[in-house]
Amino acid sequence: MTTFTVNEALERIESRGADPVWISRFPRAEVLARAQGVAAGAPLAGRCFAVKDNIDLEGLPTTAGCPDYAYSPVCSAPVVQRLLDAGAVALGKTNLDQFATGLVGVRSPYGVPANPYGSAFIPGGSSSGSAVAVAAGLCDFALGTDTAGSGRVPAAFNNLVGLKPTRGLLSTRGVVPACRTLDCVSIFSRTVAVSARVLAVAANFDPEDPYSRCAAPPLVDEAWPPRVGVPRCDQLEFFGDSAAAGLFAAAKDRWRSLGARIVEVDFAPFLAAARLLYDGPWVAERYAAIREFIERKPGALHPVTRKIIESARTLTATGTFEAAYKLAALRRQSEAVWTEVDVLLTPTAGTIYTVAEVEADPIRLNSNLGYYTNYLNLLDLCAIAVPAGFLPNRMPWGVTLVAPAFCDDRVLRLGARFLGEAAPVRALPAPGPMTQLAVCGAHLSGLPLNWQLIQLGATLVRATRTASSYRLYALPGTTPPKPGLVRASAGGEPIAVEVWEIPLAGYGRFVAGIPGPLGIGSIELEDGSWVQGFLCEGLAVQGALEVTAFGGWRAWLGRRQG
């Protein structure tokens, strides 16, 4: 890794002067030294990142947005250490709503990180500094946390991708708890591709974290086109923002244009679960997380934060069990939705507020921002927030894609599709036994049928060539255009192919859908190994245009289009 990217990040940071985005940063010389020590081939080499200041990063204090609470961690949180080990370079610790309590980004004694799109508007919280650091181009990605929406609301307000993984995929050891049973580490980035790569590195079972979970993705994921669920019209809430309602309608139209089927669902169980987060006993978890500190130094807390957390003193054990029973019933009701849809599409937040509006009415407006977010962790779901346009006040607005636990790759793929990005790398380990398949035509990366491999959970193993005994033809009348690969007794050449690894659970269904004259057979690669791959019947290429001399289908398409 060169220090150019790091130098550029440091220059941008330093040019801003005193900046409430940061609570603490590493000295320039230390950052450059770490960058110079990164191996060029490391998975995240060349990536700078920031860490929300309720997550331990060795060498800098952890404050959780409260100076009197600060302590010096003896080591980095495991999720941070995995990123460092993968070559990412940490720049510093970012500001937050104190003790990760809030969706607004203004509840901090360290100041309010300025929203890059309009400083009069809130940056969103609680992961305010992390989101602004990415949006302002100060780092490639940032870690936040997400208990009630803190990894998604700031993404919407800063025109970012905000990934809230399945609970337990990323270790929360070394994270100051908000609600320990619900907390997630979240990822902010400017593209789905970066979030997927970070998740692929960061996800890991941590036996020392009692809430860590092994990844358990579905054996076979959704077919294309997806069934996209949306709340009934009478259950949507934009808090008087008609422009936001228009952007949500446009997001639905975008999915329709992509071929998705829009399905209205009953959003009531999700809304009822959302109300439990702050109206129920989970507030007591916030109290339990800092009980000793708040009882010893109650005046050290931000007034709004203190008011919210101290409300837990009136809660009872009986009420806790009653809420747990209600949540179990709501979870069962909500499960019916996943038999009807593959993904749920909602606004990330109904609207955005100014700093002045939030300071005048801090609790009600914060509650409004959680309308579409507070239920996620209670119902054990994963989600990705993605940009969906701009309001007339020039502020960003976004939507969220939601799916069941461990369907993280599904929301990543669909988020990329919505934004027009290429399919991201698979972030979670593929389920079950695998087989390899060589593709030479429309299933190559970036070509029209590649999505069929991605939806099965396939991963690209390598790009290579066949042995020098194959001929390639452009099959007439195929949509999208497809080649025919034929083993030849003479006149053959090496042909470019990609080898993909596919879960066996979906392989039979994939093969059954291959139209003639194509089929699957054994293909010899240039290294002498053999794999299954696409071949064509010899009779079908009689009279077809031979494109063997181009060395591969992609090269032929490029020459034809040029």
Same domain, 356 and 260: yes
For 15-19, 143-147, 284-288, which range has the lowest pLDDT when averaged over its residues?
Answer: 284-288
Burial class (CB in 10 A: 0-12, 13-18, 19+), 544: middle
Q: Helices 268-279 and 317-335 sit at what angle, rounded to 10 degrees?
A: 160
**β partners of residue 498:** 439, 463
Q: Report residue 296 as tokens.
A: 């010893």
The pLDDT score that the predictor gives to residue 434 is: 85
Same domain, 491 and 388: no
pLDDT at 46 over 80: yes
203 closest CA partner among 193, 222, 216, 188: 216
The pLDDT score that the predictor gives to residue 2 is: 46
Residue 429 lies in a domain: no
Buried b (16+ CB within 10 A) or exposed e, 164-184: bbbbbbbbbebbbbbbbebbb
- Tell me, what CATH number does 343's domain have? 3.90.1300.10
Q: Helices 362-369 and 303-310 sit at what angle, rounded to 10 degrees?
A: 70
- Tell me, what CATH number does 471's domain have? 3.10.490.10
Residues for the chain: how many in total? 562
CB within 8 A of 462, min separation 6: which ones?
498, 499
CA end-to-end span of the chain, whole Å? 35
- Alpha carbon distance 454, 451 (integer Å): 5
pLDDT at 385 over 70: yes
**β partners of residue 164:** 383
- Alpha carbon distance 3, 1 (integer Å): 7
The pLDDT score that the predictor gives to residue 70 is: 97
Same domain, 412 and 552: no
Q: Taking the mean position of all CA atoms in its chain, how far away is CA 258?
A: 20
Residue 426 lies in a domain: no
Residue 425 lies in a domain: no
∠ Cα 46 47 50 (to 5°): 150
107 and 125 in contact (C-beta within 8 Å)? Answer: yes
pLDDT at 4 over 60: no
pLDDT at 3 over 60: no
Local confidence band at 458 (pLDDT 50, 70, 90 cut-offs): confident
Q: Report residue 522 as tokens.
A: 């054994």
pLDDT at 292 over 60: yes
Same domain, 311 and 444: no
Same domain, 251 and 354: yes
Same domain, 388 and 483: no
pLDDT tens column, 171-196 = 999 999 999 999 999 999 999 999 99
Q: Taking the mean position of all CA atoms in its chain, how far away is CA 177?
A: 21
Residue 424 lies in a domain: no
Q: Which residues are catalytic?
A: 52, 126, 150
The pLDDT score that the predictor gives to residue 220 is: 67
pLDDT at 549 over 90: yes
Same domain, 446 and 389: no
161 and 83 in contact (C-beta within 8 Å)? Answer: no
Name, of 37-41, 376-380, 452-456, the range with top average pLDDT: 376-380
Same domain, 406 and 551: no
Provide the sign of the torsion angle of the four alpha carbons 411, 417, 420, 423, taken in this order.
positive
pLDDT at 170 over 80: yes
pLDDT at 347 over 50: yes
- Alpha carbon distance 487, 493 (integer Å): 10
Name, of 126-130, 273-277, 281-285, the range with top average pLDDT: 126-130
pLDDT at 219 over 70: no
- How many other CB atoms are found less than 10 A from the CB of residue 243? 15
Give percent of the chain above pLDDT 90. Answer: 79
222 and 410 in contact (C-beta within 8 Å)? Answer: yes
- Alpha carbon distance 6, 281 (integer Å): 44
Q: What is the largest CA-CA distance in the chain?
A: 86
Name, of 212-216, 399-403, 498-502, the range with top average pLDDT: 399-403
The pLDDT mean for the chain works out to: 93
Local confidence band at 41 (pLDDT 50, 70, 90 cut-offs): confident
Name, of 124-138, 310-324, 429-443, the range with top average pLDDT: 124-138
Last residue of a domain, one of 384, 419, 454: 419
Same domain, 367 and 509: no
Residue 428 lies in a domain: no
The pLDDT score that the predictor gives to residue 1 is: 38
pLDDT tens column, 474-489 = 999 999 999 999 999 8
Same domain, 524 and 383: no
Same domain, 400 and 446: no
The pLDDT score that the predictor gives to residue 308 is: 85
Local confidence band at 40 (pLDDT 50, 70, 90 cut-offs): confident
Same domain, 397 and 441: no
The pLDDT score that the predictor gives to residue 504 is: 86
Residue 279 lies in a domain: yes
Count: domains in the chain: 2
Local confidence band at 223 (pLDDT 50, 70, 90 cut-offs): low
139-156 mean pLDDT: 97
Q: 3-state SS of the chain: helix, strand, coil percent to 5?
A: 35, 20, 45
pLDDT tens column, 327-341 = 999 999 999 999 999
Burial class (CB in 10 A: 0-12, 13-18, 19+), 46: middle
Give percent of the chain above pLDDT 70. Answer: 98
Q: Is 410 helix (H, G, I), strand (E, B) or coil?
A: helix
The pLDDT score that the predictor gives to residue 232 is: 97
pLDDT at 211 over 80: yes
Local confidence band at 249 (pLDDT 50, 70, 90 cut-offs): very high
Helices and strands (DSSP H and E) totals, the chain: 18, 19
Residue with the larger pLDDT of the pair 216 and 100 = 100
The pLDDT score that the predictor gives to residue 200 is: 95
Range of the domain at 499: 434-561
